[in-house]
Structure formats: structure tokens, C-alpha cells
Structure 1
Amino acid sequence: MHPPIADFLGSTACEEVTDAEEEAFLLFSLAIPTTNLGFVDSRASSLDVTISGNEYTVHQSPTLLSSSRAGGTTGAVLWKITPRFAEWISSPTNPLWTHSLLSSRSVVAELGCGISALVALALAPSVQHYLATDQEYVRRVFRTNLDTNASVTSAGSASGQQKGSKTRGSSRSTSKGKQPSRTASNITFTTLDWELDQPELLKECIESQSSGHAGEDEGGEEEDPGFDLLLSCDCIYNEALVAPFVRTCADICRLRPAYEPSSEETSQSSLQPTVCIVAQQQRAPEVFETWLRETLREFRVWRLSDEVLGDGLQGGTGYLVHLLLAREKS
């Protein structure tokens, strides 16, 4: 029997990418909508967002965005790709779900989550645990958004229907929905410096409620320091960030066995490789090409097809989604 990842890669859901220059030329030769930097509204103190029929209020920090803080402030506001990606990744029609690469037992990590918490809020009700990471300045507003949206139900993600995400400015903050959700209880935020911190320690941040799946050897199962899914949504916009970003992705993915097609049916490990999904807005082709060239050294890369991305993320929208599987470390 083929493992789930082999079935997925053998489907029409993706196309392998082997040449960074060729991929950059192909993608950036398409007409791309003008979206400027990609903020939803960098001046609003809060925004109302609809994802899969659920209403969220997202608090922002325009003051922090415009500050001169060292280390960057781009995570202080909501970016346009985030609601679209949250809608797609949490949909039960997503091929990661239909090919059993994601399940209710999955442990997910996100790099550069930003303040909105939208991807965590949309996906966490359907998985065992969600670990969101970013710089320390994100923590307070991220927690505020978790608390504000604690009563949002997960009915939209259970319906299996993609309804399109919407955003609008809001002058006040209110919780939406009437039924309690377990969302916030299985979301953890921790800081992660791509250049200084040790990814192998990430699972120690997860609460004890998921410890059985997060690495303890219970019932004869092998110890698992890794994650089922690693997500990144719009973290690639500066060439200086590319090398530490790619290295961090590789270090996290290598906490699990690498993907080796020749041994996929004979592997002694019960752990599936960590699937890494990188979504990004199309901005500078040279930055994208730099990222992809660096990534191909550490990963095999597949571009997800329009068929599975849907209207919100397909080619021509100005957004890109690639799937990465770590190579064996040389």
C-alpha cells in the first residue's frame, strides 16, 4: 500500500518544480493583479473577516507597523492572502485532508503567524494541536485575537463548502457566534528566531493535553519530535530573510524522516514526512527566484494546481502555493 504522501504526489494535485529560473519566469509572465504590498487596511485598528461562513474580528496595530522597531513590524497587521489561505487550508475538500495528510490527530506548526491568528483559528478546531510562531512583539495582539474570537464556531469548516473570505473595516471589536469552541484551547504561541532558536525544542511548548502525540512514547509508538504539517503564509518578501527562513523550514521538517520515494514502502518508521506548505504573494520575481533556488537545495518542491487551489489562490490571483518535502541531509 502506498503511503498518503505518495498517493497525493501521484495525483493531479501538484506538479514538481526542478528549475528556479524556469518556475519564476513561468509564474511572473502571467498577468498579476495590483495589490500593492498586500495589506488589507493598514490604518484600521480592527477588521471584520468572514472565513467559511464564520465571522472573526481581527485587531491590528497600525502604530507598531509604522514604528522603527528593529527586526521588522510587518506582522502587526493583516495581509490579504491570510484569509484566503485560512479558508483553503481548513476546508475539508482540501487535498491534504482528502489524501489523509491532515487529520484530527495532526500537530501543525506555523512560521511567521503575525497578529491575526486567522490560520490558527480556522484550522485548529480540526486538528489536535496548533503551534503558532513569530517574534515576541506579535504575542499580545495574537492573544487578543484568540480571546476575541474564542466563541466563533467551526461550523463553516465542517460544512465542506468554500464560501469565500471577506474583510471589512470595523470601528469596534465584538465576539461573533453563540456557541463555545475548543479553538483557543489547542493553540499555542511561542517565539521563534529563525537564526538563533533550536527547532527541535518547539514541541516542548505544546501543552500537556497533546503530549501523547507530541513526542511521548506511549503504547510502543516511536518518539516523535516533529510535526505533521508546517505552514508559512506570506513570509517571503525580503532576500535577507530567505536563507534563515529556508534553513528553519528544513530543520523543522527534518525532525521527521525525509521523503525517499525509493524506500517509501519499506521504511521502518511509522512517521510520515512533514509536509511543508508555503503560500506567498507575488511581488518581486528576483526574491521569489532566490527563495526557490535556496529551497530546492533542501527540499523537493511541487506547485499546487489551480484545480485544488480554487478561485482564491489559483494562478492569476497574485498568490502562489508550493508544497515542500525535505531531502535527506547531505
Structure 2
Amino acid sequence: MHAPIADFLASTASEEVTDTEEEAFLLFSQEIPTTNLGFVDSRASSLDVTIRGNEYTIHQSPTLLSSARAGGTTGAVLWKITPRFAEWISSPTNPLWTHSLLSSASVVTELGCGISALVALALAPSVQHYIATDQEYVRRVFRTNLDANVSVSSAASASGKLKGSKTRGSSRSTSKGKQPFKATTSNITFTTLDWELDQPELLKGCIESESGSHLGHGHEQGEEEDRGFDLLLSCDCIYNEALVAPFVRTCAEICRLRPAYEPSSEKTSQARRQPTVCIVAQQQRSPEVFETWLRETLREFRIWRLSDKVLGDGLKGGTGYLVHLLLARGKS
């Protein structure tokens, strides 16, 4: 049944978005704090970041950021929204947790994770498995950051268990001999994901190739294999109109690996699996790019702008950041 989603939406006063121009005008007519492009410090080779009392050392690649690499380099450094988002999504008081949309059994995937690994480091200790995806150039520094913060992740994992337990990935990367690595917390996997070429239904296969487990298989005889995810995350991937269509298409393909959200049938639905909840966080930059994203997204998803009550001080309205919850529409 889909009751947890309906309860979450009803109790958090999150507002459904139905009109692109109205939403863009409402959000961009407000005064937006100046955050430049949004880097924390693009010249530093490492940064110290605190998330929920845990200290992380995050390595960056300023040289790569300033290179002329084809395909972009924005993931080479830490962006200001990322620590705020990591703090919010991993907090046990986050309504996603208190309404059981996230739990210790959840399987999560992230698009455009960047080099910091910060969201994975903060959230993975509290969930079953976390798949981080991005372009291949991110892999080395991402792994460096996992290794550098192993003790933090281990401590967070122990604490979490006590409390309660621009590109799309496939086996293509493994066919070139680049196996997903077993990260510092054993439930984090990095894999490449080409938004225009790869097949999202193969994402969970990288977990099996790494650990030999069968995470996506049905638990009961005759139950269909679950290739989908409980939660899909994206943090500051929307800054270029050319990326919007493949990004939205990838989000939709991943979310449709699970049932669509059908509120009219939630009382009687016998579906065992919840729809995938997609959370998209972004910095307010260009209203034109935002409108393009919103218009494209509304074709595939129902969208709710999360309320200040849900987001707290770090991400609420007026901070210069936006967070929307997406639920895939049924195929027409």
C-alpha cells in the first residue's frame, strides 16, 4: 500500500506543483542570497566538513575542475548545497524517516554524486545499500574520500544500527575491467551511469557483481525481481539546459522500475513495493534553466515542493536552495 507516501504529503504541508510559470515566478521573485556558482572553495585540495557532529575530510581536484575535459568537470569539487543536503537527508528526524519512506532496509541510488561522496557517507550507514553514480572521472577521488573517512563511516554505522536499524550505469563499466569497488562502508557502490546510453534496470547488478548477493530478487517464490529503488537522489545536477532532457528521462526510467504512485487506489492496492521517491535538490541560479527542468519533469512526474517545515533552516525558502519530491506518473 502507498499510505506512507500519502501520510507524508498530507502531514508535511508540502505543496504540489502544477504550473511551471507560476512556480518559477514564486521562487525567483524572492530575494536570493548571493552564493556565486556555489563552490565551497574551488581552490582547496581538501576541506573539513561536519555532518550531524561527524567530521569528514573531503578531497577535491581543483586542477581537474579547471581543465578542458570534454563532458564537464563540475563534479570535481564540493558544492555548498551538498553538506546541507547530506545533513538533512541523514537526520533521523527527517520526515522521510519518521514516515517510513526511508528505513534500514532501503536501497538508495544517487545521480551525479560528484567526488565528495558526502551524501553517501552520511546516509549509507543507515540504509541497506547505496549506489552512487556519475562520470568515470569522478571515481578515483570518490574512492579517496571513502577511504579517508572510513573511521567516520564506521562510527556512524554503529550509531545508525543502534538507532534503528552528467551520465547512467550498467555493466558496461565492468566489461572494461573497471569493477565497482567495495567501499569503506561495505554497502556503498560507485558505478558510472551514462544518462543517454546506459540502462537503469541494470544498476542493481553492480551490487551483485561486487558482493555476490541478490539484493533485487524477490523474497518469496514467484515474486518478481525488484530492479528498483526506494529512494532516488539528485543534488545540484541541474545547471545546464542541455542536460535537462536526459536527466529527467533517466530519473523517470529509474522510478518506473517500481510501481507508479496511484493515490486513488492506495487503500486497496496490494502491491508489495512502494513507488520510488525521487528527491531533487538544487541551487537557485537561472530561472530559465529551472523552468526548462520543471516543464520537462511535469510530463513524467507529479511534483511537490517540500515545505519549510520539512526542510529546516539549512534548505528552507530564502536560503537559495530548492528541494522537490517527485513521484512518477503512470504510463499513459
Q: Judge same fold: TM > 0.5, yes or no.
A: yes
Shift of 1:157: 7.3
Show the counterpart of 1:317: 319
The one-letter code of the counterpart of 2:304 is W
| 1:77-116 matched pairs, under 5 angstroms | 77-116=77-116
The alignment's C-alpha RMSD in Å is 1.9
Q: Does 1:51 align with 2:51?
A: yes
1:124–1:183: 8 Å Cα contact kept in structure 2? no
Q: Does 1:142 align with 2:142?
A: yes
SS in 1 for 2:303: strand
Gaps of 5+ in 2: 162-182
SS in 1 for 2:189: strand
- How many angstroms apart in 1 are the aligned matches of 2:287 and 2:158? 35
- How many angstroms apart in 1 are the aligned matches of 2:227 and 2:28? 38
Shift of 1:64: 0.4
- How many angstroms apart in 1 are the aligned matches of 2:158 and 2:56? 12
The one-letter code of the counterpart of 2:82 is T
Aligned CA distance change for structure 1 residues 157 and 86 (closer, same or farther; 3 Å): farther
1:17–1:303: 8 Å Cα contact kept in structure 2? yes
Show the counterpart of 1:284: 286
SS in 1 for 2:257: coil
| 1:231-310 matched pairs, under 5 angstroms | 231-310=233-312
The TM-score normalised by the length of structure 2 is 0.89
Shift of 1:265: 2.2
The one-letter code of the counterpart of 2:7 is D
Farther off after superposition, 199-208 or 133-142: 199-208
The one-letter code of the counterpart of 1:121 is L
1:264-314 deviation digits (Å, cap 9, x = unpaired): 122232110000000000000010011001000000000000011011000
1:118-150 deviation digits (Å, cap 9, x = unpaired): 000000000000000000000000000000000
SS in 2 for 1:154: helix
The TM-score normalised by the length of structure 1 is 0.90
| 1:46-195 matched pairs, under 5 angstroms | 46-152=46-152, 153-154=155-156, 158=160, 184-195=185-196
Farther off after superposition, 4-13 or 108-117: 4-13
Aligned CA distance change for structure 1 residues 156 and 36 (closer, same or farther; 3 Å): farther
Shift of 1:103: 0.2
- How many angstroms apart in 2 are the aligned matches of 1:275 and 1:40? 28
Gaps of 5+ in 1: 160-181
Alignment length, in residue pairs?
308
Shift of 1:18: 0.3
Shift of 1:329: 1.7
| 1:206-221 matched pairs, under 5 angstroms | 206-207=207-208, 211-212=213-214, 214-220=215-221, 221=223
Shift of 1:215: 1.5
Show the counterpart of 1:38: 38
Aligned CA distance change for structure 1 residues 96 and 329 (closer, same or farther; 3 Å): same
Shift of 1:209: 5.2
1:51–1:156: 8 Å Cα contact kept in structure 2? no
1:156-187 deviation digits (Å, cap 9, x = unpaired): 9759xxxxxxxxxxxxxxxxxxxxxx962100
1:131–1:188: 8 Å Cα contact kept in structure 2? yes
2:109–2:233: 8 Å Cα contact kept in structure 1? yes
Shift of 1:191: 0.1
Aligned CA distance change for structure 1 residues 232 and 157 (closer, same or farther; 3 Å): farther
1:90–1:157: 8 Å Cα contact kept in structure 2? no
1:241-273 deviation digits (Å, cap 9, x = unpaired): 000000000000000000011111222321100
The one-letter code of the counterpart of 1:262 is S
Aligned CA distance change for structure 1 residues 147 and 239 (closer, same or farther; 3 Å): same
SS in 2 for 1:58: strand
1:110–1:132: 8 Å Cα contact kept in structure 2? yes
1:125–1:183: 8 Å Cα contact kept in structure 2? no
The one-letter code of the counterpart of 1:203 is K
Shift of 1:211: 3.7
Farther off after superposition, 221-230 or 202-211: 202-211
Show the counterpart of 2:164: none
